[in-house]
């Protein structure tokens, strides 16, 4: 029974670790990657589509990203487009981004909750005098493998028709149609075209899968070292 409890806690720890790593991968791509937005904007000629200088466009982007993290009260952002001073976002876009901000802040809260659960798992395992040399890395390896396998299957499915699953995602997480934007009137869809989304998803997946492989490698190395020690 004690070994079963240790394994279950280890798997729970690994699931929380994977969720934390996933959300951190998203944050790393869109917040920590130097020049990411400028590179994507250049790739898709976004400045031409919105008739803005790169400097002004990046300033608007900075304000938008600050808003998503709750570091800005609203999205009433003034800028210059086509030589005319105006607000970048219209009311429909602002309403949609309020929904997006809610999802983003919920993800941050979920990550904090996962970190708390991970800490509690370690405390419980310490109190149980668990086997951190073999049982714990093995259970983390099992849990990570399960999560990783599910993530790979999901990534393969999404890659078969990105637009289809992009729409499904929005139907799952939004209870309105505010996310359906018109490129003629809504600037948000012009600065984040479908190619931008697919590039970003690919980069997030690459970052996440790299982190998972590192974790799997560490667990495997610990198990291998323990096996050699036993001999």
Residue 25 pLDDT > 90, yes or no?
yes
Residue 100 has pLDDT above 90, yes or no: yes
Confidence band for 167, pLDDT divided at 50, 70 and 90: confident
Q: Tell me: the pLDDT tens digits for 133-166? A: 888 888 999 998 888 888 889 888 888 887 888 8
| pLDDT at residue 198 greater than cutoff 90 | no
CA angle 178, 76, 98 (to 5 degrees): 35
Is 142 within 8 Å of 7 (Cβ atoms)? yes
Cα atoms in the Cβ-side hemisphere of radius 13 Å centred on 85: 1
Q: Which of 183, 194, 188, 196 is nearest to 40 (CA)?
A: 196
What contacts 90, CB < 8 A, 6 or more positions away? 185, 186, 187
Q: For the chain, give the percent of residues with pLDDT over 70.
A: 97
Picking from 9-23, 27-41, 162-176, which range would have the lowest pLDDT averaged per residue? 162-176
One-letter-per-residue 3-state SS of 141-176: HHHHHHHHHHHHHHHHHHHHCHHHHHHHHHHHHCCC
Q: Is the confidence at residue 231, as pLDDT, over 60? A: no
Higher-confidence residue: 29 or 223?
A: 29
Alpha-carbon 23 to chain mean position:
4
Q: How many CB atoms lie within 10 A of CB 112?
A: 12
* Model pLDDT, residue 230: 57
pLDDT value for 228: 61
H helix intervals, the chain: 2-27, 36-43, 46-50, 54-68, 91-127, 135-160, 162-173, 187-191, 194-230
d(Cα 34, Cα 127) in Å, to the nearest integer? Answer: 43
How confident is the model at residue 229, as a pLDDT?
60
Kindly tell me if the per-residue pLDDT of 1 is higher than 80. Answer: no
| CB neighbourhood size of 69 (10 A) | 13
- Summary mean pLDDT of the chain: 91
pTM given for the model: 0.87
Beta carbons of 220 and 141 less than 8 angstroms apart: yes
Q: How confident is the model at residue 65 (pLDDT cuts 50, 70, 90)?
A: very high
């Amino acid at each position: 029974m004690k070994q079963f409890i240790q394994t279950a806690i280890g798997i729970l720890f690994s699931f929380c670790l994977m969720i934390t790593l996933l959300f951190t991968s998203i944050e790393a791509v869109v917040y920590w990657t130097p020049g990411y937005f400028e590179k994507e904007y250049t790739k898709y000629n976004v400045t031409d589509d919105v008739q803005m200088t790169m400097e002004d466009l990046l300033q608007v982007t900075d304000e938008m990203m600050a808003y998503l993290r709750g570091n800005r009260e609203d999205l009433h952002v003034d800028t210059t487009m086509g030589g005319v001073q105006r607000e970048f976002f219209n009311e429909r876009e602002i309403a949609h981004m309020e929904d997006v901000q809610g999802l983003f802040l919920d993800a941050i809260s979920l990550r904090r909750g996962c970190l708390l659960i991970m800490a509690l798992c370690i405390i419980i395992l310490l109190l149980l005098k668990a086997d951190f040399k073999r049982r714990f890395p093995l259970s983390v390896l099992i849990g990570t493998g399960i999560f990783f396998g599910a993530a790979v299957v999901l990534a393969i499915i999404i890659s078969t028709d990105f637009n289809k699953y992009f729409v499904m995602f929005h139907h799952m997480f939004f209870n309105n149609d505010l996310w359906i934007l018109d490129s003629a009137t809504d600037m948000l869809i012009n600065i984040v075209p479908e190619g931008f989304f697919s590039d970003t998803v690919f980069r997030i997946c690459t970052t996440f899968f790299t982190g998972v492989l590192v974790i799997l490698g560490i667990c495997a190395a610990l198990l291998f070292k323990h096996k050699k020690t036993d001999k």
